[in-house]
Structure 1
Amino acid sequence: PLLSQVLIIGGGDGGVLREVVKHPTVESVVQCEIDEDVIQVSKKYLPGMAVGYSSAKLTLHVGDGFEFMKQNQEAFDVIITDSSDPVGPAESLFKESYYQLMKTALREDGILCCQGECQWLHLDLIKEMRQFCKSLFPVVEYAYCTIPTYPSGQIGFMLCSKNP
């Protein structure tokens, strides 16, 4: 499938955005970041990471990602949630209701990828997320990668699709 419309929830440092706008099939990127200060600090101190903020493909919204999804009327080929841990404002991004909103916004052949925590520290949360994701999507996978600067050196991702 042609992946041309991308939504990023979070990702204020710009790293995900930088990588997404590199792809020639991506026509537009909508990003919703709750903290404008994160964007500004990244632009100032991490310009190589924040380079995507100058892309003409980007439409930037500053605000709560969960609230943005409740108001969203667009459909996306890819939805990426690059959030902080599930405490405080980001807690709602780890709930079934948020995944339901993403399912509604996801095109039939689309895919979503969300911050999925670390299996060594949050196994119960990961199991809960997998369970409700399996009730919403026919394809659900959990993946992880090694990132030495993260707690216990790993971060996970929940990957879901409507189309098997």
Structure 2
Amino acid sequence: MDILLLIWIVELVIERTVTLVNLQSATYGKVLVLDGVIQLTERDECAYQEMITHLPLCSIQNPKKVLVIGGGDGGVIREVSRHASVEQIDMCEIDAMVVDVSKKYFPDVAVGFQDPRVNLHIGDGVAFLKAVPHGTYDAVIVDSSDPIGPAKELFEKPFFELIAKALRPGGVVCTQAESLWLHMHLIQDIVSNCREIFKGSVNYAWTTVPTYPSGMIGFMLCSTEGPAVDFKNPVTRVEGEGSHPQVKGPLRFYNAEIHSAAFCLPSFVNKAIGSKLR
């Protein structure tokens, strides 16, 4: 079975401790690998990029200001830019090299960098948030790598406190929240911290991504105190093949039905975190 049949190496870049490898797979197309971990493939990147973006943005009315932490490949801002109501997209990515490689080898993913609403900041996401005035954003999306090294900070309580401060009342955050098969203790800690910090909704969703560890990835979705947010029932309903007057399509993966289904949790996950969600 061809899980990842690597045909040729396009480029190997080594800078500091970061290794970026751009590969070609017979099944998944071009593959971006960062420090030995698959970040995206042409075939299945939509399952991650569309879900981490449209789950939060379709849950609130007319988001205008959006902050993306991480996401140097550009996939998240590509999806944010589909929303007609959005006026400002700030992005803070710690590594310019990821941005450059994506622009060069994954132009269909990095196309969002061309949007005039995008303001790219190269630097540390925590430091960026510390300087953000209270209540600036309607939504914050955290597309982080695994909690190793500098990214570990993005899974800890002080980081979520900074996000809550940066959001308007009823604002939403969606953050990459690991695998329910592999990282349940970490997910339990994240849920506990978010329940304490965010006084609105606190929910966990997931999607399938074949090339990620365990074949899936989870998302933590929370809202600040203010107008109620029902994450399970999108207010902007993208139907059929991914079209809506407020969301430029077509989308390859996300729709209103899969939005609601993403919050259906396996029994063992409900047992572990269900009582803490709201």
TM-score interval for Structure 1 and Structure 2 normalised by the shorter chain? over 0.9
- Give the paired residue count: 164
Deviations, residues 15-74 of structure 1 (Å, cap 9, x unaligned) = 000000111000010000000000000000000000000110011100011111112226
CA shift for structure 1 position 136: 1.1
| 1:95 counterpart residue number | 156
TM-score by length of 1: 0.97
Match of 2:170 among 109, 114, 117: 109
| 1:144 counterpart residue number | 206
Deviations, residues 98-152 of structure 1 (Å, cap 9, x unaligned) = 0000000001121100010101111000000000100111310011110000000
CA shift for structure 1 position 6: 0.3
CA shift for structure 1 position 89: 0.9
The one-letter code of the counterpart of 1:109 is: G
Q: Distance in 1 between matches of 2:89 and 2:116?
A: 9
The one-letter code of the counterpart of 2:186 is: L
Q: Distance in 1 between matches of 2:62 and 2:161?
A: 23
Secondary structure (helix, strand or coil) at the match of 2:207 reads strand
Q: Distance in 1 between matches of 2:130 and 2:186?
A: 23
Match of 2:146 among 65, 85, 92: 85
- Choose between structure 1 and 2 for higher RCO, CA contacts under 8 A separated by at least 6 residues: 1
The one-letter code of the counterpart of 1:133 is: C
- Structure 1 stretches of at least 4 aligned residues deviating more than 6 Å after TM superposition: none
Indicate the RMSD between aligned Cα atoms, in angstroms: 0.9
| 1:132 counterpart residue number | 193
Secondary structure (helix, strand or coil) at the match of 1:128 reads helix
In the alignment, structure 1 residue 48 sits paired with structure 2 residue 108: yes
* Unaligned segments of structure 1, at least 5 residues: none
The one-letter code of the counterpart of 1:142 is: Y
The one-letter code of the counterpart of 1:110 is: G
Highest CA radius of gyration, 1 or 2?
2
> If each structure's helix is expressed as a fraction of its own residues, which one has the higher value?
1
Q: Distance in 2 between matches of 1:52 and 1:150?
A: 23
In the alignment, structure 1 residue 122 sits paired with structure 2 residue 183: yes
In the alignment, structure 1 residue 65 sits paired with structure 2 residue 125: yes
In the alignment, structure 1 residue 38 sits paired with structure 2 residue 98: yes
Secondary structure (helix, strand or coil) at the match of 1:48 reads helix
Match of 1:4 among 64, 67, 74: 64
| 1:156 counterpart residue number | 218
Secondary structure (helix, strand or coil) at the match of 1:125 reads helix
Which range moves more in the overlay, 73-82 or 88-97?
Answer: 73-82
Q: Distance in 2 between matches of 1:62 and 1:36?
A: 6
